[in-house]
Protein backbone atom coordinates (compact mmCIF):
# COMPACT_ATOMS: atom_id res chain seq x y z
CA UNK A 1 0.00 0.00 0.00
CA UNK A 2 1.22 3.50 -0.62
CA UNK A 3 1.18 6.70 1.32
CA UNK A 4 -1.00 9.12 -0.68
CA UNK A 5 0.87 12.24 0.48
CA UNK A 6 4.48 11.24 -0.22
CA UNK A 7 4.13 8.44 -2.73
CA UNK A 8 6.38 6.22 -0.56
CA UNK A 9 5.31 2.69 0.37
CA UNK A 10 4.17 2.29 3.97
CA UNK A 11 4.47 -0.76 6.19
CA UNK A 12 0.78 -1.43 6.86
CA UNK A 13 1.50 -3.14 10.19
CA UNK A 14 3.38 -0.19 11.69
CA UNK A 15 2.25 2.70 9.45
CA UNK A 16 5.91 3.72 9.07
CA UNK A 17 7.29 4.78 5.68
CA UNK A 18 10.80 3.58 4.77
CA UNK A 19 13.68 6.01 5.32
CA UNK A 20 15.50 7.61 2.42
CA UNK A 21 19.30 7.11 2.35
CA UNK A 22 20.11 10.41 4.06
CA UNK A 23 17.65 9.80 6.90
CA UNK A 24 18.86 6.20 7.22
CA UNK A 25 22.51 7.27 7.54
CA UNK A 26 21.58 9.90 10.14
CA UNK A 27 19.58 7.37 12.18
CA UNK A 28 22.39 4.82 11.89
CA UNK A 29 24.96 7.34 13.19
CA UNK A 30 22.76 8.00 16.24
CA UNK A 31 22.41 4.26 16.79
CA UNK A 32 26.19 3.79 16.59
CA UNK A 33 26.69 6.45 19.28
CA UNK A 34 24.17 4.70 21.54
CA UNK A 35 25.77 1.30 20.95
CA UNK A 36 29.22 2.65 21.85
CA UNK A 37 27.72 4.08 25.06
CA UNK A 38 26.08 0.70 25.72
CA UNK A 39 29.33 -1.21 25.25
CA UNK A 40 31.20 1.12 27.64
CA UNK A 41 28.46 0.73 30.24
CA UNK A 42 28.38 -3.06 29.86
CA UNK A 43 32.15 -3.31 30.34
CA UNK A 44 32.21 -0.84 33.25
CA UNK A 45 29.40 -2.63 35.11
CA UNK A 46 30.42 -6.19 34.10
CA UNK A 47 27.00 -6.82 32.60
CA UNK A 48 25.93 -9.50 30.13
CA UNK A 49 23.68 -8.59 27.20
CA UNK A 50 21.98 -10.78 24.58
CA UNK A 51 20.38 -9.41 21.43
CA UNK A 52 18.42 -11.81 19.21
CA UNK A 53 17.76 -11.32 15.50
CA UNK A 54 15.49 -14.07 14.26
CA UNK A 55 13.79 -14.43 10.92
CA UNK A 56 13.44 -16.37 7.72
CA UNK A 57 16.30 -16.76 5.27
CA UNK A 58 16.74 -13.56 3.27
CA UNK A 59 14.94 -11.38 5.84
CA UNK A 60 17.90 -9.01 6.18
CA UNK A 61 19.26 -10.15 9.54
CA UNK A 62 22.88 -10.29 8.39
CA UNK A 63 22.85 -6.89 6.69
CA UNK A 64 21.22 -5.26 9.68
CA UNK A 65 23.71 -6.79 12.11
CA UNK A 66 26.63 -5.76 9.90
CA UNK A 67 25.32 -2.18 9.68
CA UNK A 68 24.81 -1.73 13.41
CA UNK A 69 28.10 -3.36 14.48
CA UNK A 70 30.37 -1.35 12.15
CA UNK A 71 31.50 1.05 14.87
CA UNK A 72 31.59 -1.16 17.96
CA UNK A 73 34.42 -3.21 19.42
CA UNK A 74 34.58 -6.86 18.31
CA UNK A 75 36.13 -7.58 21.72
CA UNK A 76 32.84 -6.60 23.34
CA UNK A 77 30.27 -7.46 20.65
CA UNK A 78 30.20 -11.05 19.42
CA UNK A 79 27.88 -12.33 16.70
CA UNK A 80 26.71 -15.94 16.87
CA UNK A 81 24.99 -17.25 13.74
CA UNK A 82 22.80 -20.19 14.66
CA UNK A 83 21.70 -22.42 11.78
CA UNK A 84 18.23 -23.89 11.48
CA UNK A 85 17.55 -26.23 14.40
CA UNK A 86 18.29 -29.92 13.96
CA UNK A 87 15.56 -32.48 14.56
CA UNK A 88 17.04 -33.12 18.00
CA UNK A 89 17.10 -29.38 18.81
CA UNK A 90 13.47 -29.10 17.71
CA UNK A 91 12.57 -31.63 20.41
CA UNK A 92 14.47 -29.73 23.14
CA UNK A 93 13.66 -26.54 24.97
CA UNK A 94 14.02 -23.62 22.57
CA UNK A 95 16.55 -21.88 24.83
CA UNK A 96 18.98 -24.84 24.90
CA UNK A 97 20.50 -23.84 21.55
CA UNK A 98 21.67 -20.55 23.02
CA UNK A 99 23.15 -21.66 26.34
CA UNK A 100 26.71 -22.45 25.22
CA UNK A 101 26.95 -19.06 23.48
CA UNK A 102 25.72 -16.83 26.32
CA UNK A 103 27.89 -13.78 27.11
CA UNK A 104 30.52 -13.50 29.80
CA UNK A 105 30.68 -10.43 32.05
CA UNK A 106 31.30 -7.29 30.01
CA UNK A 107 30.21 -8.89 26.75
CA UNK A 108 27.34 -8.38 24.31
CA UNK A 109 26.29 -11.30 22.13
CA UNK A 110 24.13 -10.85 19.07
CA UNK A 111 22.36 -14.04 18.10
CA UNK A 112 21.41 -14.47 14.47
CA UNK A 113 19.09 -17.41 14.05
CA UNK A 114 16.96 -18.70 11.27
CA UNK A 115 13.32 -19.69 11.54
CA UNK A 116 12.19 -22.85 9.88
Residue 47 inside a domain? The answer is: yes
pLDDT 10s digits, 55-65: 887 788 888 89
Which residues is 114 bridged to in the sheet?
Answer: 55
CA distance 23 to 104: 35
Residue 14 inside a domain? The answer is: no
Sign of CA dihedral 59, 66, 94, 45: negative
Residue 71 inside a domain? The answer is: yes
The number of beta carbons lying within 10 Å of the beta carbon of residue 15 is 9
CA distance 41 to 105: 12
- Which residues span the domain enclosing 69? 21-114
pLDDT 10s digits, 71-105: 999 999 999 988 888 899 889 998 898 999 999 99
Please count the structural domains in the chain: 1
Give Cα separations from 3 to 21, 46, 74 (angstroms): 18, 46, 40
- The pTM for the full model equals 0.75
Amino acid sequence: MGNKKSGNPVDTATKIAPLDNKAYEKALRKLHVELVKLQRWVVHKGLKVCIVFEGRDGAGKGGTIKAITERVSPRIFRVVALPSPTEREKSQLYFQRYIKHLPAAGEIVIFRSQLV
